Structures are given as C-alpha cells and as structure tokens.
Amino acid sequence: MNYWWVAVAVGVFSFALTHVLRRYALHKSLLDIPNGRSSHTVATPRGGGVAIVVSYLVALVWMLSAGLMARDPFLAMFGAGVLIAALGFLDDHGHIAARWRLLGHFLAAAWALFWLGGLPAIDVFGMTLAPGLVINVLTAFYLVWLLNLYNFMDGIDGIASVEAICVCIGTAIIYALSGFATLMWLPVLLACAVAGFLIWNFPPARIFMGDAGSGFLGIMLGCLSLQGAWISSQFLWVWLILLGVFIVDATVTLIRRLIRGDKVYEAHRSHAYQFASRRFGKHLPVTSAVGVINLCWLLPVAVGVARFGLDGALGVIIAYAPLLVLAFVFKAGALEKS
C-alpha cells in the first residue's frame, strides 16, 4: 500500500508543533544565550527537537497498529526514545548531573538491546562475529556513544537535521533496492519528522533542537541500525557508513581531547565542523557540505556494500578514509585558540 500520505502528515505535524514550541520557548524565555563556547551569536529559542520526538513516537504507534512494525522493535524504540527524550528535556530545562544522564543512557541502551535481541552474528572480512555477552556490552556502548555524539555534533544550524535526513533517506533507498520496501518506512517517517523541524532550524536557525531532540535522534538511529542488522548483517555496515560524517568527527575529536588530558565532559568548540564554520564565517556551507558528502560519497559506498558484494568492513574503511583526512584538515580535537 501507499503510505506517503502518512509521511506528509508526520512532516506537517512536526512543522506545526515546532512553531508551537518556538512560541512557548519565547514566552518562557527558554533561550540559548551565546557564550564563549557557542557557535551562534544571537539568543535563540531551544527545545524544538521535542517536535521530532512526539511526531516520530506517534508514527511508531501508527506503524504498530498498521502491522508495519513488530511488537519487540516497537517496544525497544518507543521505550528507549521516551527515556532519552525525557532526560534531555529535563536537562534542557535545568541541569542533570553527568553521571545520572549517563546512567539513564545505559538503561535506555539495555532496554533497547533486550527487546531487539542484542546484536546478531555479523560478517567481518569474511568471518562471522558470533554474538555473546561481551559483544552485547560493546553494543550497549555503541548505542550510548551514538546518542552522545549526536548531541556533540548538534552545534551549528541544521547540521544534525541534515545528517539524520540524509542517513534515513539513504537507508530507505537501499532497503527498497534490496527488496525490503516495508522496512523503509521506519527511516522515511523519521526523516519526515526531522524535515518538519528543519524548516525552522535551517541556517539561520529560528529554534534549536536541544538535548531532547539530539539524544532521541541518536538512540533512534542506533536502534534502526540494529534492527537492520537482524535483516542482514550488511545493513549494519550500511548504517555505519552513512553515519560516517558524525562518527568520524566526534570520535577523532574525543580521542585527541582524551590524549591531551582535557575534561571531555566540558563544553567545547573543537569539532572539525565547528572549526570549519568559523573558517567560512557561517553555518550554511558546512551544513550543506554534510549533505553533499552523504549523498555523493557515503551513499554510493553503502550501495556497493548492500547491492554489489563489497565487504561491509572494507566499505567502512573506504568511506571513512577521506573523512579522516577532512577531520584532520579542519583540526578536529585541536586546542582552541583563546
């Protein structure tokens, strides 16, 4: 059946709800005030990512009721998403100590892994990596890292939204090409929920996503990647390839800051995309470049893995190699000048 009307409805609902949230944030003075660690210069309403959360959770309920989604992945995504969004919402409106946020992140990851059945056997360079306790613990760290790096990478106008849309649409295309048309609706509806918000968040942003939205996107993308892995191990590699821009920048930045002895939980502006936005003097070129890299480089490599027999692990290496070069060219993790 044709469900594109649902996709349009999700996008329109997200757009309208973002408008309502923006008016609420302005009325309550919930503003992100620029400081020395900010990449913006104008006080901007925050918390608009709640529109993404509500829109997609409603879409998940519809998919379950329409028989397009099984119970277990629904419980995994709905439960983990609500917990992460709630933590982010509370942190957006006050402050939650880092240790309690991290505990909540691992609880959400454990919940998702329980209902998804953990990580299935994965093919790595022709060998099969069997599932087990150690692998599932590492998978929990993967989910926690993904939701946190998505928060870290949500630092300039539109970048987190463009990344999510490109990743979801890219994966939906690959699912359709691979004969799993029904499976594509989960990423398509997430892309639509984000698109409705992006209209308000595109440079120059009129509202920011906030921790509720960015953390929710991170855990949803992680859950979708594990769900794809249960269909075919190649689909996990597809998700990792398409998420390459965020994974490489955030991971290189974290490693370099750890080596230097920085307090990694403190706010900073040392990601490659942040250095790039300051070099170009605006956010739009960097946000646009993320979209171009996803569609013109990462998507073709991912298609090669899913459809043309390219080994998944090798595909990740090929996809990430130029991203690593870009990360170092734009000084990811380098010490910021005063």
Residues 6+ apart with CB under 8 A from 200: 15, 18, 19, 22, 48, 206, 207
Residue 194 falls inside a structural domain: yes
CA atoms within 13 Å, Cβ hemisphere of 186? 25
pLDDT digits (tens, 9 = 90+) for 226-245: 999 999 999 999 999 999 99
- The predicted pLDDT at position 92 comes to 80
Q: How far apart are CA 15 and CA 25, in angstroms?
A: 15
Residue 195 falls inside a structural domain: yes
| β pairing state of 127-129 and 122-124 | antiparallel
- The predicted pLDDT at position 91 comes to 86
Q: How far apart are CA 80 and CA 74, in angstroms?
A: 10
Above 70 in pLDDT, residue 35?
Answer: no
Residue 80 falls inside a structural domain: yes
117 alpha-carbon distance from chain centroid: 21
pLDDT digits (tens, 9 = 90+) for 261-309: 888 777 789 999 999 999 999 999 999 999 999 999 999 999 999 999 9
Q: How many C-beta neighbours within 10 Å does residue 132 have? A: 11
Q: How far apart are CA 244 and CA 163, in angstroms?
A: 10
Residue 124 falls inside a structural domain: yes
43 confidence band (pLDDT: 50, 70, 90): confident
Mean pLDDT across the chain = 94
Q: How far apart are CA 277 and CA 285, in angstroms?
A: 8
What helix, strand, coil percent values describe the chain, rounded to 5? 70, 5, 25
Q: Global pTM?
A: 0.96
Structural domain count, the chain: 1
Residue 324's Cβ-count burial label (10 Å; 0-12, 13-18, 19+) is middle
Domain that holds residue 180: 4-329
pLDDT mean over 124-136: 88
- The predicted pLDDT at position 37 comes to 62
Dihedral sign (CA 111, 112, 116, 119):
negative
Residue 336 falls inside a structural domain: no
pLDDT digits (tens, 9 = 90+) for 182-229: 999 999 999 999 999 999 999 999 999 999 999 999 999 999 999 999
- The predicted pLDDT at position 63 comes to 96
Residue 334 falls inside a structural domain: no
- The predicted pLDDT at position 256 comes to 95
Residue 338 falls inside a structural domain: no
DSSP secondary structure of 188-207: HHHHHHHHHHHHHHSSSPSS
pLDDT mean over 144-163: 96
Q: How far apart are CA 141 and CA 105, in angstroms?
A: 9
Residue 270 falls inside a structural domain: yes
Paired with 44 in beta bridges are 32
| β pairing state of 122-124 and 44-45 | unpaired
Q: How far apart are CA 190 and CA 197, in angstroms?
A: 11
Paired with 31 in beta bridges are 45
